[in-house]
Amino acid sequence: MTTGASRTERKHFRQWLSICCLAVMLAGVANIALAAETDADRALYRDALADLYAVRLHAFEAKLARLEDHPLLPYLHYARLLRYISTTDPDEVRAFLERFADTPLANQALRHWLDNLAQRGQWALYRAFYDPDVAGSAVAQCRYYRSLHETGEKEGALIGAARMWVADESRPDVCDPLFDVWRRAGGLTDALAWERITLVLGANRPSLADYLVRYLDPASERLARDFIALHRQPQRLTRIASLPGDPLRAAEVIAHTLRRLARSDPEAADAAWAMWADRVDLSADAQRRVREEIMRWRIRRDRLPDDHVASWPPTELMGADVSGLVEELARRAIAAERWDEALTWIRRLPEQQRDAINWQYWIARASIEWNSGAGNGFIAASHPQPIPALDPDAALALLTEVAGRRSYYGFMAADRLERPVNLQAQQLQASEEDIGRILDHPAFQRAVELEALGENLDFRREMAWLRARLDTRDLLILAEVCRRRGWHDQSIQATISARKWNHLELRFPLAFAEPMLENAERRRLEPSWLFAVARQESAFMSYARSHAGALGVMQVMPATARITARQLDIPLANTWQLLDYNKNIEIGASYLAQMYDRYQGNRVLASAAYNAGPGRVDQWLSRRPPTPADVWIEGIPFRETRGYVQNVLAFSLIYSHLMELDRPFLYDHER
């Protein structure tokens, strides 16, 4: 079991870190006077905004004149435009859009202007200013089509209304006036209502489908209600003999319900398919989709016939693209260490797919195992094809080739061969002229000021705007400048935008080094592993918030944070403290340490638990042991978690090298 960096390693790394910090401090001494001047300008900027919002316009204009050369001058003009947007002349708006076209504010201002025009019913102006590339939301589109109607372009408005109404989700309330006009004009037909109900149920929104039934003709209502009921309880399909209404629509209902039923009970779906196949006329495509879904869930629930390898593909899937199913079958065989079967499935993949590094690794790995006599005899003797294994020399050569790649599979291959990894790292050579070109860029200067003022959203917009306008070379220079400033997430984003994967110091910054090292030491964690988890979770964005509610550098869920803080007596006043990177790293590292201890120092299992939860990991372990590690990881049923664990392990090795720590890809007890 690993217990973090040794005392000597920690001392060495802290010395290296101190030298880096000292260099930054010395570089900053010369800028003290400049910093004082900058602070004064920032205070003046804040005061100008305060004057504007307090309607002290003379004071605002005076400060605006003093800030004529300030990077955030466009933001003051933008704030004034928004403050008085309802009374602003259209020519003033055009002048603003033209003057500040080289900033993100032009598009933001246009969106606000369009919103205001719609609220005031200025439809002719709305139509004149509308730009779908800038204002492409459903709200903006509905308003645009309404502006067409209000200005006499009724045919275009009605066509647009139909396009907006047929969607798989609820439409914004602002669309209702447009839809009312469209319905009164006879645009909403029974066919369109049925089309939308089909889309909505395909997106699993049965409550919205309930609402939409009112727009069907009476003759279609009963079938639609049966459709919704079967969506909610697909097993009912086995207990009914027929469906009312249009036969083609009934066929749609049957196909949809069979696909739904397959997820919970593929055998029942198979039986229902046999019962309904002669009663409804399904298109060839609909039949294929049903059979594919039944097969997918048979695979996932391990309910395949004994001869499924020899008889593949099923007759009803002949000629279809079943490569996704074949990949699932290959992973299933790998997870069970049935090497002859795994090789058979991999060889059935299309050549381009089979040449991907993951399948090249498994061809080599499975061939070596098959040649040694392990995991064979699972394919029926009647199978007509020989096992497509490589001979021992070819398998070793392929594994060696894979080991030369910088990736999870490359590192795993190198680990099996007991060879050093090939990081293929490049160092960026940036001149002072290069650095100065980025520092002098107006967008970068605006970003500096916005970050200092705590305006994170506008800061991110400026950086995204800048990245979209730099060439590959300058994107790398931007990444280096961001790294020096401690904008770690922006350094990563710029390197990704440049698609220069070999610049590891830019892609994998040693962000928040002090709290990361302190918490790794306190919780007896490998520091490189802790860095890797943070890099995977948030790319070191301290203010990151996921759709699920996870927060901060370590993407900690608030409920998990409260429990962990209470268990370990860590002060946590409220959820928003998790956006403080020190607190977030402390709690995230503590929870990671709990997972590490729970799984006896196995980083593979602890990483999976950090992502998917320990309950799921315990469930997976009840089905198969955690070693061999590569086999267990490949068999993780969640694609997200499988990729997460692979990335964390690969990132951990990269960080070990960047930190000059001698660490293996996997420890003996993890292999």
Give a three-class secondary structure readout of 72-130: CHHHHHHHHHHHCHHHCCHHHHHHHHHHCCCCCHHHHHHHHHHHHHHHCCCHHHHHHHC
Integer Cα distance of 182 and 163 in angstroms: 11
Quick check: is 61 catalytic?
A: no
Q: What residues have CB less than 8 Å from 332, skipping those under 6 apart?
A: 299, 302, 635
Integer Cα distance of 519 and 79 in angstroms: 42
Distances (CA, A) of 486 to 70, 204, 242, 461, 578: 23, 43, 66, 18, 19
DSSP H/E element including 44: helix 32-53
On whether the CB atoms of residues 407 and 486 are closer than 8 A, the answer is no
- Compute the C-alpha angle 292/297/302, nearest 5°: 125
On whether the CB atoms of residues 137 and 104 are closer than 8 A, the answer is no
On whether the CB atoms of residues 168 and 202 are closer than 8 A, the answer is yes
Q: Which of 151, 152, 130 is nearest to 141 (CA)?
A: 130
Q: Which of 534, 540, 528 is nearest to 486 (CA)?
A: 540
- Compute the C-alpha angle 558/563/569, nearest 5°: 115
Within a 10 A sphere around the Cβ of 529, how many other Cβ atoms? 25
Q: Which of 553, 551, 550 is nearest to 539 (CA)?
A: 553
Integer Cα distance of 613 and 132 in angstroms: 42
Distances (CA, A) of 639 to 289, 543, 644: 21, 26, 8
Distances (CA, A) of 426 to 231, 502, 662: 54, 5, 20
Q: Concatenated DSSP letters for 227-294? A: HHHHHH-GGGGGG-----S-HHHHHHHHHHHHHHHHHH-HHHHHHHHHHHTTTS---HHHHHHHHHHH
Catalytic residue (one of 293, 341, 451, 537): 537
The residue whose two tokens read 């790794």 is: 520
On whether the CB atoms of residues 626 and 602 are closer than 8 A, the answer is yes
Integer Cα distance of 559 and 550 in angstroms: 9
Tokens standing for residue 530? 């802790």
493-522 per-residue burial string, b: 16 or more CB within 10 A, e: under 16: bbbbbbebeebbbbbbbbbbbebbbebbee
Catalogue the active-site residues. Answer: 537
